[in-house]
Amino acid sequence: MTIKKFTGKTKEEAIAKAKEEFGEGAVVMNVKEVKPSGFFQFFKSVTYEVTAAIEEKEKYAGINLTADEKIMIPPMPQQSVIQGNAKTTVISSAKQQITETAPASAVSSEDIEKRLENLSNMIEKKFQTEESKEKDIPEKTVQNSESFKFMKMLYRTLLDNEVNEKYVNQILEEAEKIANSNNSVDVILSNVYQKMILKFGEPNCIDIEGKKPKVIFFIGPTGVGKTTTIAKIASKYKVEQDKKVAFLTADTYRIAATEQLHIYANILDAPMSIVYSAEELNQAIEKVSDNDLIFVDTAGFSHRNETQRMDTKNLIDGLDEQYEREVFLVLSATTKYKDLLEIVDSYREIAEYKLIFTKLDETSSYGNLLNIRLYSGADLSYIANGQNVPDDIEEFNAQMIVKQLLGGK
């Protein structure tokens, strides 16, 4: 006899697979509803597992009861009565199959009884094992506990805030041990909160230490607010820390950008000039080398525009080695996750960068901040949440963002 398990989305599909392989003589020994396990079972579909058997007519002299894989007979919801019925059904089905398929000349009644006895003992032992295991299951399982309900709520909340499901699973799986230890929801929340803050890390902003001047490049797609972001950051260093700042722009594709930066430079009483190449960049820096910080605005372009990408790369790579540099990739929090992935990959070919997110005031879902931080590995630095210069910008605050992602205010 060959015993094998078949799975399907429905009982009928699983049985059909058994009959397709074994033929119409297949005997269904057990039908099992397989429910997904773990904290995310609510979001997965139920499947069905059918254990079927078929007599190998050519091998009646030595019947083989070994399955091609370990047979797992599930514990029944009502212990003694249902289990007894299940055992009777399985053994009766096996007896009927052996009797109907085996010619009388091939197998004696004594052989049949012996086989049935072996099969009965095997199934009896299996049911006893499952019954023993069932007694060890606590009445209040994780699936029915408050911690499970709370984890499910966190799962949905993070997804609603557009955290990628891959990272949601990572975060909650790391917290699963805490939830399984019958801890309160406060302990679970605290654990998740701390882990998410660690994943964000500390903000990595402009380093004003070291040799002067520090040259700061801002790169990014069109329309993300690079020029306004430069003005905000420069204003803070100028006004709040009394640093000397200067502006350079290589954004010659958009005339309005040059005019806008010129206005900000006049307000801050800071020098500003236009550069067209790496050589001009170094010459312009030399003229304002007595400043602490030199902010360089680059042209915004589609991440798929190879020519403009190479122009920006050549500009940054052409900076004289005597100057220290930092590069910031400016992204909008409203950009789709799929597009952000392409953008960060494309700009990685230009230079290593830190991340600035803008337009947080235009979205209520901050999941992409975590998604891109984990995907790119780049440090977060500043976040901007409006157009006001210099007020609507601040250093990245992991605690504030994590509270938002977990449904807080």
pLDDT confidence of residue 360: 94
Name the nearest CA neighbour of 270 among 252, 293, 286, 303. 293
Name the nearest CA neighbour of 93 among 120, 61, 121, 118. 120
Give me the residue label for tokens 């052989």: 111
Contacts of 78 (CB under 8 A, 6+ apart): none
Q: Please, which pLDDT band fits residue 180 given cuts at 50, 70 and 90? A: confident
Burial state string for 53-82 with b = 16 or more CB within 10 A and e = fewer than 16: bbbeeeebeebeeeeeeebebebbeeeeee
Long-range CB contacts for residues 77-80, cutoff 8 Å, separation at least 24: 79/131, 79/134
Q: What's the CA gap between 77 and 99, in Å, rounded?
A: 31
pLDDT confidence of residue 149: 79
pLDDT confidence of residue 302: 72
Q: What's the CA gap between 279 and 276, in Å, rounded?
A: 8
Mean pLDDT for the stretch of residues 195-199: 93
Assign residue 242 a region (left: φ > 0; alpha: ψ between -120 and 50; beta: otherwise).
Answer: left
Share of the chain above pLDDT 70, in %: 73
CB 218 within 8 A of CB 330: yes
pLDDT confidence of residue 77: 42
Greater confidence (306 vs 368) lies with 368
Cα 283 versus chain centre, distance:
46
pLDDT confidence of residue 299: 83
pLDDT confidence of residue 212: 87
| SS3 per residue for 342-405 | HHHHHHHCCCCCEEEEECHHHCCCCHHHHHHHHHHCCCEEEEECCCCCCCCEEECCHHHHHHHH
Burial class (CB in 10 A: 0-12, 13-18, 19+), 265: buried
pLDDT at residue 260 tops 50: yes
pLDDT confidence of residue 76: 41
pLDDT confidence of residue 284: 94
Share of the chain above pLDDT 90, in %: 40
CB 182 within 8 A of CB 145: yes
Task: Give domain 214-405's CATH superfamily.
Answer: P-loop containing nucleotide triphosphate hydrolases (3.40.50.300)
pLDDT confidence of residue 84: 47
Q: Please, which pLDDT band fits residue 24 given cuts at 50, 70 and 90? A: confident
pLDDT confidence of residue 173: 87
pLDDT at residue 109 tops 80: no
User: What does the block give as tokens for 336?
Assistant: 């789709």
What is the 3-state composition of the chain as percent helix, strand, coil, each rounded to the nearest 5? 50, 15, 35
Torsion of CA 22, 26, 30, 33, to 10 degrees: 50
pLDDT at residue 221 tops 70: yes
Q: What's the CA gap between 18 and 26, in Å, rounded?
A: 7
Mean pLDDT for the stretch of residues 256-266: 83
Mean pLDDT for the stretch of residues 217-231: 92
For 8, 17, 133, 139, the CA distances from 73, given in Å and listed in that order, are 16, 19, 12, 21
CB 336 within 8 A of CB 365: no
pLDDT confidence of residue 26: 78
Q: What is the mean pLDDT of the chain?
A: 79
Q: Please, which pLDDT band fits residue 119 given cuts at 50, 70 and 90? A: low
Read out DSSP for 258-305? HHHHHHHHHHHT--EEE--SHHHHHHHHHHTTTSSEEEEE-----TT-
DSSP conformation class of 253: S
User: What does the block give as tokens for 64?
Assistant: 């083989």
Q: What's the CA gap between 261 and 258, in Å, rounded?
A: 5
Q: What's the CA gap between 133 and 79, in Å, rounded?
A: 12
User: For 62-81, how does the pLDDT look when each residue is reduced to its tens digit (9 = 90+)?
Assistant: 333 333 444 343 444 444 44
DSSP conformation class of 322: T
Nearest-Å Rg of the Cα atoms of the chain is 34
Q: Please, which pLDDT band fits residue 118 given cuts at 50, 70 and 90? A: low
pLDDT confidence of residue 386: 83
User: Quick one: how many helices (H) and strands (E) in the chain?
Assistant: 14, 11
For the chain, the structural domain boundaries read: 2-136, 142-200, 214-405
pLDDT confidence of residue 71: 33
pLDDT confidence of residue 187: 83
Q: Please, which pLDDT band fits residue 112 given cuts at 50, 70 and 90? A: low
pLDDT at residue 140 tops 60: no
Sign for the pseudo-dihedral over CA of 86, 88, 92, 95: positive
pLDDT at residue 346 tops 50: yes
pLDDT at residue 326 tops 50: yes
Name the nearest CA neighbour of 87 among 49, 47, 130, 34. 130
60-69, 91-100, 220-229, 287-296 — which one is most confidently predicted on average? 287-296
Q: What's the CA gap between 113 and 225, in Å, rounded?
A: 84
pLDDT at residue 135 tops 50: no
pLDDT confidence of residue 114: 58
